[in-house]
């Protein structure tokens, strides 16, 4: 019984920082250096051959909102922020994802690809450079992309943002 209590006390000391741990863990899995205060999310430029004019703004704002909602970081436009995201939308394509037995498309797929650089100017400084993130969603091929796009973007953009956030702060 004494060993069990001693072991629990040791674990408690490590969790409170006496063990020298300098990383803060949050309930959402994000790891933020305790010294970090600011983040700069640059506007994600759209360089895809085909594109949606609102996509850049949509991705940029969703990433900013997620960081503000799930971390204690403050958004800034300072180029010396503790953390910085730079991104480019490099792909926006529609393709067939399934065909019928008479060679007509049954469903189509919208795929969006974003290339992101994450810079850490504090802590371990282990960011990432030119990481590609891609997400897709299928829709009925009888619909045009213009008809399906609003619903598809509501699915794809949050998933892309989650992937970027998790890669940066949960280090997966």
* pLDDT (tens digit per residue) in 99-115: 666 666 688 999 999 99
- Identify whether 159 is part of a domain: yes
Name the band, by pLDDT with cuts 50, 70 and 90, for residue 30.
confident
CATH code of the domain containing 133: 3.30.160.150
- Identify whether 50 is part of a domain: yes
- Identify whether 26 is part of a domain: no
Average pLDDT score, the chain: 84
- Identify whether 17 is part of a domain: no
Q: Which residues contact 102 (CB under 8 A, 6 or more apart)?
A: none
| 129 vs 103: which has the higher pLDDT | 129
Mean pLDDT confidence for 50-65: 95
Structure tokens at 36: 């970090």
- Identify whether 157 is part of a domain: yes
- Identify whether 166 is part of a domain: yes
pLDDT of 141 reads: 87
* pLDDT at 80 > cutoff 80: yes
Please state whether the predicted TM-score (pTM) of the whole model is above 0.85.
Answer: no
* Separation CA 2–CA 106 (nearest Å): 67
pLDDT of 99 reads: 67
* Separation CA 120–CA 50 (nearest Å): 32
Domain count for the chain, please give it: 1
Structural domain that includes position 156: 35-170
Helix (H) or strand (E) holding 98: strand 83-99
Give the residue from 111, 115, 118 showing the smallest Cα distance to 157: 111
């Amino acid at each position: 019984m004494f060993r069990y209590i001693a072991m629990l006390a040791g674990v408690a000391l490590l969790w409170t920082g006496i063990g020298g741990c300098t990383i803060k863990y949050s309930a959402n899995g994000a790891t933020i250096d305790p010294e970090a205060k600011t983040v700069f999310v640059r506007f994600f430029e759209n360089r895809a051959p085909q594109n949606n004019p609102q996509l850049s703004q949509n991705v940029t704002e969703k990433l900013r909102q997620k960081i503000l909602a799930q971390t204690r970081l403050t958004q800034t436009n300072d180029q010396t922020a503790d953390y910085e995201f730079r991104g480019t939308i490099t792909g926006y394509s529609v393709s067939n994802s399934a065909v019928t037995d008479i060679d007509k498309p049954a469903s189509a797929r919208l795929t969006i690809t974003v290339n992101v650089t994450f810079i850490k100017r504090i802590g371990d400084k282990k960011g990432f450079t030119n990481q590609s993130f891609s997400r897709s969603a299928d829709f009925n091929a009888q619909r045009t992309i213009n008809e399906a796009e609003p619903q598809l973007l509501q699915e794809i953009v949050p998933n892309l943002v989650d992937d970027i956030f998790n890669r940066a702060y949960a280090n997966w």
